Amino acid sequence: MVRANSPLVTTSFTNIHKGPLISNFVVQATNWRWTQYITLIFAFAALLFAIGIPETYPREITRRQCKYRGIPPPCLAPPESGVTLAQMAHVTIASPLNMLVSEPIVAICAFYLALNFAVVFQWFITFPSILTSVYSFTPQEAGLTFSSAIVGVIFAAITVIIVELGLYRKFVIIKGENMPRIEYRLVPAMIGGVLQTVSLFWIGWTMSSTWPWASPVIGIMVYIWGNTLVLVSF
């Protein structure tokens, strides 16, 4: 039986359950408990940031304005999420489940998103292991390669902006419509699907000692680029 503070357990925590970019270095200098401390620090920073964000829900803005002026709030339409627990359960649980089994486009999108998330999360586990075994990376060096994911997300944001501007120009400025048709929201996903497919073959073929380590790392960047485009569109 292994004690909680034994070297075996500590090694397991420090080598498996630590974040790639920051915790890899912090835990190495301290102990596995800092995997939790760092999460709390970032959560607290996000909470402080959220405190100063103004309210954007129209119903709540109306209530606050009426309360500030000392007048009764107007008769507001019921919220779309429902008022009673039964209504909320229907809107948030029953209706989505019904659409999942009765609407082919919803089912296909749901399974496609599930595949995307599955690949992303298994990548977080397998990619560092492959880098350490094939390219003899240290855990810290393998963690730094996750920076390619950040680059991929930035490229995806730029791509979405370019596509949206192009659609706005085509349908609103040139054709005089109020907004682009809703199906054109899937244009980034069409681009992302191609990038995902290319990147998976790219990574599979170049993840070996005969190829430089930069090749699969760039391939991961391309996958995150495409994956983010699909997520944003869907």
72 and 112 belong to one structural domain: no
What is the arithmetic mean of pLDDT over 144-153? 89
More confident position, 142 or 161: 161
199 and 142 belong to one structural domain: yes
Question: Letter for the amino acid at 130?
Answer: I
What is the arithmetic mean of pLDDT over 83-98? 86
126 and 200 belong to one structural domain: yes
Residue 28 lies in a domain: yes
- What residues have CB less than 8 Å from 110, skipping those under 6 apart? 100
69 and 119 belong to one structural domain: no
More confident position, 173 or 128: 128
122 and 225 belong to one structural domain: yes
Residue 92 lies in a domain: no
Backbone angles phi, psi at 202, to 5 degrees: -55, -50
Residue 85 lies in a domain: no
The position carrying tokens 């309210």 is 55
pTM above 0.75, yes or no: no
35 and 108 belong to one structural domain: no
**Which tokens in the block code for residue 37?**
């401390």
Residue 121 predicted with pLDDT over 80: yes
**Which tokens in the block code for residue 116?**
């995307």
What is the arithmetic mean of pLDDT over 155-174? 86
Q: How many other C-beta atoms are found inside a 10 Å radius of the C-beta of residue 59?
A: 13
Residue 19 predicted with pLDDT over 80: no
Q: How many other C-beta atoms are found inside a 10 Å radius of the C-beta of residue 168?
A: 14
233 and 120 belong to one structural domain: yes
Range of the domain at 114: 104-234
Residue 41 lies in a domain: yes
Residue 3 predicted with pLDDT over 70: no
Rg, Å, the chain Cα set:
24
What is the arithmetic mean of pLDDT over 7-20? 45
60 and 141 belong to one structural domain: no
148 and 192 belong to one structural domain: yes
Name the domain count of the chain. 2
Percent of the chain with pLDDT over 70: 89
Please say whether the beta carbons of 132 and 202 come within 8 A.
no
pLDDT confidence of residue 10: 40
150 and 223 belong to one structural domain: yes
**Which tokens in the block code for residue 115?**
């595949």
pLDDT confidence of residue 13: 38
Identify the band that residue 50 occupies on the pLDDT scale cut at 50, 70 and 90.
Answer: confident
**DSSP character string of 32-81:** TTHHHHHHHHHHHHHHHHHHTSPP--HHHHHHHHHHHHT-PPP-PPPPTT
- What residues have CB less than 8 Å from 2, skipping those under 6 apart? 8, 9
pLDDT confidence of residue 69: 81
